[in-house]
Amino acid sequence: MRVIVCENYEQLSKEGAKLFASQMILKPNSVLGLATGSTPVGLYKHLIEMNKAGEIDFSDITSFNLDEYYPLSPENDQSYRYFMNENLFNFVNIDKARTFVPNGLSENPEEEGKNYDELIEKAGGVDIQLLGIGQNGHIGFNEPDVNLITGTHLTDLTENTIQANSRFFNSIDEVPTKAITMGMASIMKAKKIVLLASGANKKAVVSELLNDHITTNVPATLLKLHPDVVLICDKEAYGA
Ligand code: PGA
């Protein structure tokens, strides 16, 4: 795992955006793996600016998002589909028909997961995957557990995640308790992975990434087995 320590969130966002822009320039029909949460917002802002400046082109890009709350409609302003439209897709020249987010209203989440993984495979696999990290070490919504699941699947959210995500909702009771998430193998199949961590509340989990242990209790530590991961963190998350 390569580690880039940035001065602050702004620099982290710029560094992350550079990696995505480079990928898109080298391969204009790249398949991007995208993430939600507060951390990637700055990176998306930079991609929007670069797109407006004519430096990067989304017209041949396909994207797959990591996860979606369940059950939740894509029109709901708390859905991750809505988040992606508002933070990236509405402001770049991407074909929305080629932007995929798990269907939070699927009547058969098991089949939804299988189809999602097949779609990713049919698109040629994810070229570059963006990840945030939960304070509990989750990536996507792969929560700490004895067993982790390989493919895209329906999962229960832990109390810790529900608590952390309640800041986006009016009250904690409104936070969905389930989500459809790409599984660990679905994530690990990406050719490159860019993991972002910002702020002092990520310091403990980043230090788990920087030791040489792997544990399903901190799902992100499995990324140490991937050959091409870049961790971009700011000084607060790094503990410098
Ligand atoms: P955050 O979420 O970017 O809002 O901190 C990260 C995550 O839970 O994966």
Whole-model pTM over 0.85: yes
- Residues comprising the chain, all counted: 240
Amino acid identity, position 116: Y
Give 7-42 pLDDT, tens digit per residue. Answer: 999 999 999 999 999 999 999 999 999 999 999 999
Report H helices in the chain. Answer: 9-26, 41-52, 80-87, 109-122, 159-165, 184-188, 203-210, 235-238
- Å from CA of 38 to ligand 1 middle: 6
Is residue 132 within 6 Å of ligand 1 at its C-beta? yes
Mutate to test the pocket of ligand 1, among 38, 136, 155 (most ligand atoms within 8 A of CB): 38
Give 158-201 pLDDT, tens digit per residue. Answer: 999 999 999 999 999 999 999 999 999 999 999 999 999 999 99
- The pLDDT of residue 2: 98
Domains of the chain (ranges; CATH) run 2-192+223-238 (3.40.50.1360)
Do 209 and 143 form a contact (C-beta atoms < 8 A)?
A: no
Is residue 207 within 6 Å of ligand 1 at its C-beta? no
